[in-house]
Amino acid sequence: MPVDGLDKILANLTKKEADLKKTVFVGMKYALKETVNYGKVAYSRPKTGKGFTDRTTNLRNSWSSTVMIDGMNVIGYVHAGWGSQPDVNYPYHVETRWDGKYAYLYPSVMDKKEYIFDTIKTLCQGVFT
């Protein structure tokens, strides 16, 4: 049984596709930047007992987020790292050693997961109002 008005909804979605993609991009960029800032504070071991102790602050200062559009997809991730061998692998070592006891990136994203989705959802709803 056809849904009344479905053709109009699909046509509206097609027209709004570019706007939605830009909105998701902006929302994800904003939310991931906030996630990085949150993680730098919430996973500072001397203050919170979580994450790791960053004596030089090099690793903490290297935290960043990247958002890009790849065809139909908007992809975003939080990352850390700098330099060349052997330092290039240090962020991965800190994140994964001792079964993630000193992890900082993954827990930061998990803590802010709802915030990330809510930010994107709220902005996308604005496209249709």
**pLDDT single digits (tens) 68-107:** 999 889 999 998 876 555 566 777 777 888 888 888 889 9
Beta-bridge partner residues of 74: 69
pLDDT of residue 53: 77
DSSP per-residue codes, 46-79:
HHHSSSB--SSSHHHHT-EEEEEEETTEEEEEEE
Could you tell me which of 61, 58, 64 has the C-alpha nearest to residue 34? 64
pTM, to two decimals: 0.79
**pLDDT single digits (tens) 35-69:** 999 998 888 877 777 877 777 788 888 889 999 99
pLDDT of residue 82: 66
pLDDT of residue 96: 81
Q: How many CB atoms lie within 10 A of CB 76?
A: 19
What contacts 108, CB < 8 A, 6 or more positions away? 35, 36, 38, 39, 42, 43, 78
Dihedral sign from CA coordinates of 16, 25, 110, 93: positive
